[in-house]
C-alpha cells in the first residue's frame, strides 16, 4: 500500500561519511581543551577569569605573605620602609595581641580556667557531632547540663554564696514539687513510684546544679566585664546552641500541637522573632530587659545579649526541627499511638530521635548562622573577637596603615575556619543520611 508521504524527504538515500575520530580524548591537553577552551565563548570566559585572578590573587598573596611583617613589637615594624617598599599585612600585631584576642582582659593568672572551658567545649561538641561516638545520650546530658554548670563555675569562679535562707526556701520548693507529683499520681490513680522518681529527679537536678554553683571551690571571682575575645564569641555561640536546641524543640512541638492556644503562642513567637533583625533584638534586650525587672535586680551586661541571641536562635531552630517533624511519615505517629504510647513517650521515644537525626544538617547550618551572628554583640558593646580587634586597631602603639586590614583578615580567617569546617561536616552528614535513603 503506497502512502501519501513523500519518502525521499525523510529517508536518507546516501551513506553518510564516517566522522573523524576524536583527536584527543584523554590527557591534560584534551582536558584543557574540553573544559576551558571548548568554544569561542568559553575561551573568552576563561581568559576573563584568568585576568581577574591575575588582578586579584598576586597582590593578595603579596600583601598577606610576601610583604607581611611577621615579627616586631610595635608600629615601627609595620610602617612602610623608608626605602619605598610597601609593608604588607602586619601579623606581628596579631602575635602581640593574640592573648587579648583570645581571653580579652580576663585575669592573667586565671586564664587556665578559660583553657579548660575550651577543652570541655571541644569534648562536648565532638561527642555530639561524631555520629558513632559511644553513649551519645550521656553526651547530651553532658552538653546540656554538666558542661554548662562546670563552665559557669570555671569562668565566673562559682561560689554564689546563696545562704541558709535560700536553701530553706529550696527545701520547701522541693517538698512542694514532690508533693505535687504524688498528688497528681493519686488523682490519676497511677502508681506512686514513677511519679516520685520524676519529682525527685527534677528536684535533684536543680538541687545539684545550685549546690555546685554554691560551693566555694577557692576560685577567684572574675567579673564578666573582663571577659572578651574568642572566649566571649564561643560563649555566646555555646549558650545559643545549648538554649536554642531544647527551646527550639519545644517551640516546634508547640507549633505542631493540636491545642489552638499553644499553637498560636508558638507561631506568634517564632514569626515575630524571625521577622525582625537580630540587632533590634539585641538592642531590645539591652534597653528593655532592665525595665521589665524589679528595680533592685540588675542584669549582667553580658547576660542581656546572651538572652537575646538564645531567643533569636530558638525561633530559627524551631523551624528546622519542625521541618524534621513534618518529614516523619504519618505511620510513625500512628504506629506509636497504636502501641498505646502517650504524647511524651511518642515524642521522646519514636518521633524526635528520628526527626532530629534527619535535620542534623539543618541544625548545623542554623548553628553556622548563629556563630556568624555572634559578631553582632560587638555592636551593643560586648567585647567579642570583633570588638577586641576594633579596640586594638586604634592602639597608638600599633598605629600603622595596615593594622585594620590585618585585624579583620585575622577575624575573617577565624570565622572562616569554624564555619567552613561545620559546613563540611553538615555536608558529610547529609551524604551519609542520603546513602541510607538510596535503594
Partner 1 sequence: MQTVVSQTSPPQKSFLYDPKVRGIFYQVVLVAAIVFLFYVAATNAIENLQRAKIASGFGFLNNTAGFDISQTLIQFSAAGGTYGDAFIVGLLNTLLVSVIGIFFTTILGFTIGIARLSKNWMVAKVAMVYVEVLRNIPLLVQLLFWYIAVLGTLPQPRNSLEMGAGFYLNSRGLFMAKPLYASDAWVLLAALVVGLVGTFVYRHWARKQQEQTGRQYPVGKVTLALVIGLPILTWIVLALVGANPISFELPRKGTFNLTGGMQILPEFVALLLGLVTYTAAFIAEVVRAGILAVSKGQSEAAGSLGLTPGQTLRLVVIPQAMRVIVPPLTSQYLNLTKNSSLAVAIGYPDLVQVFMGTVLNQTGQAIEVVVITMGVYLTISLLTSFIMNVYNRRVAIVER
Q: Which residues bind partner 1 (CB under 8 A)?
A: 35-36, 38, 42, 45-46, 49-50, 52-53, 187-189, 258-262, 265, 271-272, 274-280, 283-284, 287-288, 290-295, 368, 372-373, 375-376, 378-379, 386, 390, 393, 401, 404-405, 408, 411-412, 415-416, 419-420, 423
CB-CB contact of 385 with 233 (8 Å) = yes
Among 169, 32, 101, 66, CA closest to 411: 101
Q: How far is the CB of 283 from partner 1 (least distance, A)?
A: 5
Cβ proximity to partner 1: between 225 and 280 the closer is: 280
Query: CB of residue 407 vs partner 1: minimum separation in angstroms?
Result: 9
> 104 or 254: whose CB is closer to partner 1?
254
Q: Whose Cβ is closer to partner 1: residue 52's or residue 226's?
A: 52
Neighbours of 29 (CB within 10 A): 10
Cβ(281)–Cβ(316) below 8 Å = no
Least separation, in Å, of the C-beta of 94 and partner 1? 15
Our CB check for partner 1 shows the closer of 26 and 189 to be 189
Quote the least distance from Cβ 284 to partner 1, whole Å. Answer: 5
Q: How far is the CB of 123 from partner 1 (least distance, A)?
A: 24
We find the least distance from the C-beta atom of residue 208 to partner 1, in angstroms, to be 26
Please list, residue by residue across 87-109, b when 16 or more beta carbons sit within 10 angstroms of its beta carbon and e when fewer do: bbbbbbbbebbeebbbbbbbeee
Q: Which of 163/381 has CB closer to partner 1?
A: 381
CA gap 407, 349 in Å, rounded: 48
- Cell readout for 114 is 578559660
Residues in CB range of 42: below 8 A, 6 or more apart: 36
Least separation in angstroms between CB 265 and partner 1: 6
- Sequence-distant (6+) residues with CB within 8 A of 75 are 396, 397, 398, 399, 400, 403
Residue 143 or 415: which CB sits closer to partner 1?
415
Least gap, CB of 109 to partner 1 (angstroms): 31
Going by C-alpha positions, the residue among 166, 249, 247, 236 that lies closest to residue 379 is 236
User: Nearer to partner 1 by C-beta: 183 or 217?
Assistant: 183
Q: Which is nearer to partner 1, 306 or 377 (CB)?
A: 377
Name which of 172 and 293 has its Cβ closer to partner 1. 293
* Cβ 313 to partner 1 shortest distance, Å: 15
Q: Are 159 and 215 in contact (CB under 8 A)?
A: yes
Q: Which DSSP letter does residue 19 get? A: P
What is the b/e burial string over 350-360, where b = at least 16 CB atoms within 10 angstroms of the residue's CB?
bbbeebbebbb
Q: Measure the CA dihedral 389/393/397/401, to 10°.
A: 140
Would you report the helix, strand and coil content of the chain in percent, each value rounded to 5?
Answer: 75, 0, 25
Query: What is the SS3 assignment for 295?
Result: coil
Dist. CA 303–CA 297, nearest whole Å: 13
Judge whether 156 and 226 are in contact, CB under 8 Å.
Answer: no
Residue (166 or 416) nearer to partner 1, CB: 416
In whole angstroms, the minimum distance from the beta carbon of 257 to partner 1 comes to: 9
Amino acid at each position: 500500500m503506497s502512502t501519501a508521504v513523500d519518502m525521499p524527504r525523510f529517508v536518507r538515500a546516501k551513506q553518510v561519511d564516517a566522522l573523524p575520530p576524536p583527536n584527543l580524548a584523554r590527557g591534560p591537553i584534551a582536558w584543557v581543551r574540553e573544559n576551558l577552551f571548548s568554544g569561542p565563548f568559553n575561551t573568552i570566559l576563561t581568559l576573563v577569569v584568568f585576568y581577574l585572578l591575575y588582578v586579584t590573587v598576586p597582590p593578595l598573596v603579596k600583601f598577606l605573605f610576601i610583604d607581611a611583617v611577621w615579627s616586631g613589637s610595635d608600629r615601627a615594624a609595620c610602617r612602610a620602609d623608608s626605602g619605598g617598599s610597601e609593608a604588607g599585612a602586619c601579623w606581628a600585631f596579631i602575635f602581640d595581641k593574640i592573648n587579648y584576642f583570645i581571653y580579652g582582659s580576663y585575669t592573667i593568672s586565671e586564664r587556665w580556667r578559660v583553657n579548660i572551658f575550651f577543652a570541655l567545649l571541644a569534648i562536648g561538641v565532638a561527642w555530639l557531632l561524631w555520629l558513632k561516638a559511644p553513649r551519645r545520650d550521656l553526651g547530651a546530658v553532658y552538653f546540656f547540663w554538666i558542661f554548662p554548670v562546670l563552665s559557669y563555675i570555671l569562668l565566673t569562679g562559682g561560689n554564689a554564696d546563696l545562704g541558709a535562707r535560700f536553701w530553706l526556701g529550696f527545701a520547701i520548693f522541693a517538698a512542694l514539687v514532690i508533693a505535687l507529683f504524688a498528688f497528681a499520681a493519686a488523682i490519676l490513680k497511677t502508681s506512686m513510684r514513677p511519679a516520685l522518681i520524676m519529682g525527685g529527679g527534677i528536684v535533684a537536678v536543680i538541687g545539684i546544679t545550685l549546690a555546685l554553683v554554691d560551693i566555694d571551690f577557692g576560685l577567684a571571682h572574675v567579673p564578666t566585664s573582663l571577659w572578651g575575645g574568642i572566649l566571649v564569641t564561643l560563649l555566646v555561640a555555646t549558650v545559643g546552641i545549648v538554649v536554642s536546641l531544647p527551646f527550639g524543640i519545644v517551640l516546634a512541638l508547640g507549633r505542631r500541637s493540636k491545642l489552638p492556644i499553644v499553637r498560636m503562642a508558638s507561631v506568634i513567637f517564632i514569626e515575630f522573632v524571625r521577622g525582625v533583625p537580630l540587632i533590634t533584638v539585641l538592642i531590645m534586650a539591652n534597653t528593655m530587659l532592665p525595665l521589665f525587672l524589679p528595680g533592685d535586680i540588675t542584669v549582667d551586661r553580658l547576660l542581656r545579649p546572651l538572652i537575646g541571641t538564645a531567643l533569636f536562635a530558638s525561633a530559627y531552630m524551631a523551624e528546622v526541627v519542625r521541618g524534621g517533624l513534618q518529614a516523619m511519615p504519618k505511620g510513625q505517629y500512628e504506629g506509636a499511638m497504636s502501641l498505646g504510647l502517650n504524647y511524651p513517650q511518642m515524642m521522646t521515644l519514636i518521633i524526635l530521635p528520628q526527626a532530629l537525626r534527619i535535620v542534623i544538617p539543618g541544625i548545623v547550618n542554623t548553628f553556622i548562622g548563629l556563630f556568624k551572628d555572634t559578631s553582632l554583640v560587638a555592636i551593643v558593646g560586648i567585647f567579642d573577637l570583633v570588638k577586641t580587634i576594633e579596640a586594638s586597631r586604634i592602639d597608638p602603639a600599633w598605629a600603622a596603615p595596615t593594622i585594620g586590614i590585618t585585624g579583620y583578615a585575622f577575624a575573617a580567617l577565624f570565622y572562616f575556619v569554624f564555619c567552613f569546617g561545620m559546613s563540611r561536616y553538615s555536608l558529610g552528614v547529609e551524604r551519609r543520611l542520603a546513602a541510607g535513603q538510596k535503594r
